[in-house]
Amino acid sequence: MQTTLRGVGVSHGVAIGEVRHMGTAVLEPPAKQIPAEEAEREQGRARQAVEAVAADLTARGNLAGGEAQHVLEAQAMMAQDPELMADVDRRIAVGSSAERGVYDAFASYRALLAGAGEYLAGRVADLDDVRNRIVARLLGVPMPGVPDSEEPYVLIARDLAPADTALLDPALVLGFVTEEGGPTSHSAILARALGVPAVVALPGAGELAEGTIVAVDGSTGEIFVAPDDEKRAELVASAAARKAALSATTGPGATSDGHKVPLLANIGGPGDVAAALEAGAEGIGLFRTEFLFLDDSAKAPSEAKQVEAYRSVLEAFPQSRVVVRVLDAGADKPLDFLTPADEPNPALGVRGLRSLLDHPDVLHTQLTALARAAEGLPVYLEVMAPMVADRADARAFADACREAGLHAKFGAMVEIPSAALRARSVLQEVEFLSLGTNDLAQYTFAADRQVGAVSRLQDPWQPALLDLVALSADAAKAEGKSCGVCGEAASDPLLACVLTGLGVTSLSMGAASLPYVRTTLAKHTLAQCERAASAARAADSADDARVAAQAVLSGE
């Protein structure tokens, strides 16, 4: 009998296939005492396993490339954390085996992360995956991960670690469904980059029986269990029509009546450029430079290394806009040389621009490297600061840009509600705004972007969030300046129309979402987008806002 379940759709497309479940996590190793004379040997075993797992994660990242590579390299650094390893050594020295020492040390660190605020709590799934891989290697059992299957399937998991998501084979994994996660989790972002249909935050997904046929609609978040022939045909026809429409719409982003909305790409480094160009990106709306710094948490990369990375991206987009975000360190991206190690709540502490202003040499080197990278290139470079709270922050950043001799537009990210509420004040110091809707939602609703239980509050359709977008866009219009969106909200085609109606002047997203947004915008006039935006803001919930906007855009 056909039944319908609903989670949160995070990656467009339809997948129909048999259910296969993620490999089970490593069992807890026995708590047995070892003789004192074996401690050194066990410590060596633990270190070898940690290094092997870190090397494996790094190798997976090299194979995956792009943003996935940066995420996996960060996870490899987590495995080699010196404080964690010191704790492992201490536990083994007092009688634990290597596997038990690793298990208990990670459990202790896990508890700290879970209680350390929104950002670090969101890294618990990544930490669990690292622990499981190390313990599996020590026990000599198979690594947890995607099932071994020769036939295509739909993957079901409690959550997916970046190491698993990054190397999913789209030829075998038709789509995936998770119980945890949210629309801005690492797995969701990587799923969109891979073009794999995905639904997250579906309670009870693990109860779907192995081998059951399901249909996954990554656009609506619907899961059809045991779909009948009619439903299958309907979904297949819908997917085919969508694909045909995507290929038919090309060129710059615009509404049907010619209102231009530049469609830009979010990238993590040079490895993401090819996909952005292939998808027809009109430029880069968010170049996340922090991944360049995560290669070595002990020191910042040299100016020469930064120049090389930045220039390779700038050269790929001649006569185009490239928006670079300076280092956004802190919270879930700690750097030993930059961020405090003992903050009670890092997400609300010294993060982003605050860290850079505390370390002006790091900021100056990055800005100087950007200036050198752009020399002689016909590119429209724009540089923006993360986590700007007020005019004083914006002024400090603009002053730093001028001191570095940077010939570019200076901007501020709107990720903190105060920046949206006082956008006109902020715009007295900078030339553009860019809305980071992921963090803006997180801080507006006090809802961790990695926790499935609060995913409804991370929904970018929340009317309160749309109000903050409208405030920022109105302020920019009044000042004659631009206001873009570079958060994941821009990747939702229907919401892209609403954002356009709110007055947003550009949209930036993962490359895989560009064709969907381009096609949907081209179907509607600016007036329709404005009416849809008004209807969404008048609603009392995210679901009602979505329905109201859809009704306007479909002419109901």
Distance CA 76, CA 83 (A): 14
Quote the CA–CA distance of 318 and 391 in Å, as a whole number: 32
The span from the CA of 481 to the CA of 430, in Å, is 9
The tokens for 271 are 């490895």
Per 3-state DSSP, what percentage of the chain is helix, strand, and coil (rounded to 5)?
50, 15, 35
The whole-angstrom separation of Cα 450 and Cα 162 is: 13
Q: Which letter does DSSP use for residue 150 in this model? A: S
DSSP 343-364: -S-GGGSS-THHHHHHSHHHHH
Among 12, 359, 483, 486, the one annotated catalytic: 486
For every residue of 60-105, which 3-state class applies, written as one string? HHHHHCHHHHHHHHHHHHHHCCHHHHHHHHHHHHCCCCHHHHHHHH
Distance CA 195, CA 353 (A): 33
186 is catalytic: yes
- DSSP element (H, E) containing 535: helix 526-538
Centroid of chain to Cα 360: 27
- Catalytic one of 12, 70, 186, 359: 186
- Segment (H or E) for 224: strand 222-225
Sheet holding 173-178, edge to edge: 3-6, 222-225, 213-217, 14-21, 153-157, 173-178, 198-200, 8-11
524 tagged catalytic: no
Which residues are catalytic, by number? 186, 486
